[in-house]
Chain A
């Protein structure tokens, strides 16, 4: 055997290791973040945030690839097909948002419970296990992509179900990690003190994790399969995630603006009542056309039409509180993103959702770019925004609670990132809406949804120009994201003024 060859490889590997360590050290010296500013729980939390941002980047990158294929169908054909790019686009989104939410909870868990996190070591371990699993899943998506029509493909490669494509082995891993997270939350509140926020959070997490299990089974009967699939997707985004955001928002408004706990918690209960009261049975708006009984047309139409109400309540809440406290706070980018959340949630979910939620309309918009228009504005407006707001809260504390305002050095970066990201997503939403109208009209209403009708709509000049505009606004979004990442790494560097401490009202 050629041992010198092996030695060479070893040497190269060590050299590579050293090089990357050196790179990491240079990077650390450049960002100048002092982790002693963070509590142990917050140190765990920022790990989640870092992975979230990386996955957000991946989401947008693969979204751009998929959007390019609408314009040039030959682009990456049979290398990274549309299906692969789109799967990574939406899967990365779901996973980064969950990472963000877990990070948010770890961020305030100590503060809210008044004690140390009980299973911090376990929490760290869970983080690494989850991150390792996510890496493997993505590599398999990219390199293996598809398998034969057997159970083993669903266990090891992907389950082929939009949003929850992760293979079964990863599903089980995700459930275990969620259980550890849940244990940490409950045990910590039990050791410290419970509060209204803590109670809502705990019950919401039970529901959120429990629902995931509903999507873990294979069924031949596609009507049954989609029935349960929607339990996960709809009851996540229109019930449990929405309440989780309510909790995160409640805590943030209390800290950022000093709003009274009693008011915050009363609002939170009102939001829960309205959200679950409309969202749980609003599930029926996905049961119009999948084979399920006709009563869903009435139930789904009626309850989902009520869903915008809690979203209005949330806007009122955030804007009223901000106004009542004269927008006085020491973190302007975070507050700006919180306001963006209130409006984005209301328009993306409330208005765009309402527009196609009645069966008489949904008959023609179902399964067109209409859904994509709504999906983009809703996921971005409701869930990307709140996470970004929290990234800013976290980085401020990490920098040692320095002032972050509209007049800070380099404040143009966060302002432009805010403008480009929101402008880009709104632009894409409008482009997709136009494409959706055109599809509803030509493919569904005129052509009766045949394959010929589908392509008649896809080939129409107004559809194609909408796809070009979506691509253009996608690029704007991408530029905004790059600026956002740059800003998050540098904001507050060299700032000496401290942020004012906002006392919570009694």
Chain B
């Protein structure tokens, strides 16, 4: 793993973070990504794309994409992280490298609104049909508010969240910062 990172650093401008002996993450720029993934696939035996996922870094006004690759023979995994702009969320498609990446890209297009121009079927419906709001996995989408105004909530719902349950028996039970504003 270490020697791989060394080799990569000779060719690409990447930062690395090693999590376990068989799992590392490298941060790369969006421009480098296709070359980096092609290199990993064709020269370093990272032939399997395990997943492609996104995180909404709304504080930085960015999306973080993680491409997780695996080397079957050595059981090593490497995650390639890329930050892209949140306002104009466009990323290069990698469907030509792994055919199944189109499904991930279609999902990200629907759930986060990240476009992958040229990816086959990227604008087709994936799970949502006829969605009219902002993409639901963006963190500024208030899922509870949407659910309450759309799905006819049944009144009389109560919660057994530990915080409220403990408050009932012990008034001094501390307020948790956890899930603030989410639990009635």
A and B together in one complex: no
Chain B residues packing against A (C-beta within 8 Å): none
